Amino acid sequence: MQSMFPRCRRGPIMSMPKCIVWHLLIAGALLATSASACHASAISPRRLLEVADIAGPTISPDGHSVAFRIERASVGRNTYDTVWYVQGLDDALPRRVADGGIPLRDSAGGSLPPKVVWSPDSRWIYYRAVVDGKIDIWRAAADGSSAEPLTHDAADVRDFALVDGGHALRYSVGATREEVLAAELAEYDSGIHIDDTVPIGQGLFRSGDVAGRLVTQRFGKVWFDRAPLLGDVPDRWMEIDLASGTKRALAGPDVPAEPSLAPGKAGVDGDPWESVRNPQDGRVAWLTRIGDRGGQQQRPDVLLSALPRAHASRAVRCISELCTGRAISGMQWRPDHDEVLFTVTDPHQGQAQSILRWNVATGQVRVVVETTGLVNGGRDPALSCGVSDGALACVTAEADQPPRLERVDLESGERHVLFDPNAALAKDMAAVAPARLLRWQDKQGRWFAGQFYSARHGGAGPAPLFVTYYSCPGFVRGGVGDEWPLASLAQAGISALCINHPPGYIMDAVARYGEGLAAVESAVELLSREGEIDPSRVGMGGLSFGSEVTMWTLSQSNMLAAASVSTPVLSPFYYVMGSIKGKAFFKGLRDLWGLSSPNETPERWKVLSPVFQVDRIHAPILFQHSEQEYMLALDYEIPLIRKHKADLYVFPNEPHQKFQPRHKLAVYERNLDWFRFWLQGYEDPDPSKKVQYARWRQMKAAMAARAP
C-alpha cells in the first residue's frame, strides 16, 4: 500500500514577498499547532453550514464583468439568503444588484444551479427567482440601480430565453398556482386515490417543501424523484416585448426549440453523453462514452469530438494524450475562437480539476489551469466557469478551502481572486483543520483516494477515526448530503476521512458494496499501521450509496464501533412501497441489485438486506432520516431499536437530502455528539441533551450485557 502524502497546493500567482510570508505562516502553524488553534476560531458545525456558496458565474457580452449568485443558510430564519452580484474582471469590488429569492431545488433537495442571462448590451441580467411564493423572471440593472419582475404570470415560470437580439423575453409555464392549490384541496376533500404516481411512505397532502411552500407531490419520471401536483401539465410558452411590455402566447413553430444533431450522424463513436452548441456559428461538440463496459453501468472512457467548421458534416476527434484516457467531465466553446474548453476531474487525485483548451482546427491541446480542488461554476463538478474570449470566471474550492471566485486568464493561466466571502473560515481551516489528500491501495491493487483531516490530539495515543464514503469534491463539509462535520470532528479529536468511490458503477451489488468495504478496511489498516488512528475506535456514516456501504460494512465486518446512516437501504418494506411504481421499479431493482420479489429471489435478499442481518450487526447505529423516506426502513430499524442497537430521528418535510438549515444543524450536531460519545466516551454538558445521553447510555449498557 502507498502511504499518504501531503498535498501540494497550486494557488493563484503571488509576489515573492507574499509567497515568503505565506510559507512563514504555514511553518508557524506546523511548529505551534496549539498556539495557532488558540488564535483561530472554532470550526463549529454552524460555521460549516453557513458557508457562502457561489454559483452561476456568467461573463457579460462585452467581457468586462461577471454576474454570480451567493447562497448562504440562515439558521435563525430557517431559510437561505441569495444575492446577485456583478463584478468587474479587473480588480473592481463586487456590486450587489438584487436579491435572488429562495433557491430552487431538485426533488432530492439539492440546490439547482441558477440560470442568468445578460442583455446583449451588458446593461441587464435576467434570472428566475422565487419571491413572495411566485416564480417569475426578474431583470436587474448591472449597475445595481434597479431590479424588477417582468413576467407577473398566474403560473410559475419553468424556463426562459432572450430572443430577437435581446428585445423580447420568452418563457414557459405550466398549470397556474390557483389550479394547483384547487387540485390539492379537491384531493384532500374527496380522498387521495393511490396509484403508481403517488409517493406512498410520506405525507400525502402538502408534505414536500418546494420553492418555500409545502406542496402535494407525485412521482417524477426518474426512479423516486418527485414533482408537484399538476407538474406534468405541458409547457405553455409566452413572449414579452421588452420595449412595450406587451405579452402574447406562442404556439406551434413559434415555440423555441434547440436543433440537435446526433453524434453518430457526424461519425462520432460511442454512447452519447453530452453535447454543446457554439452559439456563434452553430458548431457542435460532443462527449461520448467509449470502451468495454466490463460489468459497469457505463463505458469507462470519454471521447471528445467536434465539428471543425460551421457546415461540416463529419466531426474531428481530440487525439492528444491530454484528452484521451482522461476523466473529462464538461466542456464549452471559447467565444471567437476555434477552441473547445474542457474540464478533467481526476478521480485518482481526489477529484481535482484542470481546464484545457482544444483547437479543433489544429488539434493542439494546451493546459489552462490545474488545481487540487474544483475550478468550475459551483459545487457540482459538472458545472462550467463563466467564459469570454480571454478569461474564465470560476468558483474554486478545495477540501479545506471554502468557495471563492477567481478570474483565470485563458492564455497565461494566471489566476486572480475576485471575491472571497469565506476568507475568515479559510484562515481558520488552515490553522485548525487542514486536509490532505490520501491515496492508497487495497489487497487487490485497487487505488482509492480521499480527503483526510487529522485529529487535534487532546490525549495520549492514536485518535479515533470517522469515515464517510461516496464523493468528496471541492470544499468538504460533511460528505454527500453534508451531515457529518468533518472539520468539527477533527477539531474535537476524531480524525476524519472522506473517501471517493472509484470511477465507474459496478452493476453487481455484492461487488459494488465489497469495493466500498475494501476501501474502508484498507484505509483503516494504513492509518493504523502508521500510528495515525486507533483501529478499535472507528465510526462510519453515509447518505444514499454511502448509506448502503455503511450498512454493508456493519453486517460484513466487525471493524466499526459506531455508525450513522442517513437514508434507507434495501428491505422488503422498500420493495412493497416501491412496487406501486410498477415496471420501472422492477427493472431498476433487477438491473441494479439483481433482485426480484423477496419470494422469487429469497437468497439474494438475505445477502443484501439488513432485515436478515440484524443479529450480525454489533455496533450502535444512529438513523437520521427524512420524513419522505423513513418508512422504507422500519422493517429493520424497529428490530434494531428494540434490541437497543439503534436510535432513530425523522425530519419533517425533508426529501432525500435534508436542506432546512435548522434540520441540517441538528443533524450535524447530533452526529458530532454521537461519535464523541461512542468513540471518546465524551458527553456534552449542555442540559438540553440529558435525555439524548440517557438513551445512549442505556444502549451502551444493553450492548455490553450481550457482549461475549
- Per-position b or e across 16-43, b if 16+ CB within 10 A of its CB: eeeeeeeeeeeeebeeebeebbeebeeb
Answer whether residue 601 shows pLDDT above 50: yes
Q: Find the Cα–Cα–Cα–Cα dihedral 472, 477, 481, 485, rounded to 10°.
A: 120
Domains of the chain are: 57-178+235-419 (2.130.10), 425-571+609-706 (3.40.50.1820), 572-608 (no CATH)
| Greatest alpha-carbon span in the chain | 82
Q: For residue 707, what pLDDT is reported?
A: 79
Q: For residue 37, what pLDDT is reported?
A: 37
Answer whether residue 12 shows pLDDT above 50: no
- Per-position b or e across 552-564, b if 16+ CB within 10 A of its CB: bbbbbeebbbbbb
Q: What are 236-294's pLDDT values in tens digits? A: 999 999 999 999 999 865 655 555 678 999 999 999 999 999 999 999 999 999 999 99
d(CA 371, CA 397): 9
Distance of CA 399 to the CA centre of its chain: 14
Question: Torsion-angle region of residue 367: left (phi > 0), alpha (psi -120 to 50) or beta?
Answer: beta
Give the pLDDT band (50/70/90) at residue 91: confident
Pairing between strand 301-306 and 284-290?
A: antiparallel
Residue with cell 407538474: 231
Its pTM stands at 0.92
Answer whether residue 28 shows pLDDT above 70: no
Contacts of 183 (CB under 8 A, 6+ apart): 175, 216, 229, 230
Answer whether residue 34 shows pLDDT above 80: no
Give the pLDDT band (50/70/90) at residue 14: very low
| Nine cell digits for residue 483 | 451531515
* Residue 523 DSSP code: H
d(CA 507, CA 295): 6
- In percent, the amount of the chain with pLDDT more than 90 equals 89
pLDDT, the chain, mean: 92
Collapse the DSSP code of 280 into the 3-class scheme (helix H, G, I; strand E, B; otherwise coil) and give the result: coil
Q: What are 479-497's pLDDT values in tens digits? A: 999 999 999 999 999 999 9
Q: For residue 35, what pLDDT is reported?
A: 35
> Residue 101 in contact with residue 89, Cβ under 8 Å?
no
Q: For residue 253, what pLDDT is reported?
A: 53
| Section 213-241 average pLDDT | 94
| Section 92-110 average pLDDT | 94
| Nine cell digits for residue 515 | 469495493
* Residue 102 DSSP code: B
Collapse the DSSP code of 421 into the 3-class scheme (helix H, G, I; strand E, B; otherwise coil) and give the result: coil
> Residue 632 in contact with residue 83, Cβ under 8 Å?
no
Q: What are 614-647's pLDDT values in tens digits? A: 999 999 999 999 999 999 999 999 999 999 999 9
Answer whether residue 24 shows pLDDT above 80: no
d(CA 690, CA 693): 5
Q: Which amino acid is at 351?
A: Q
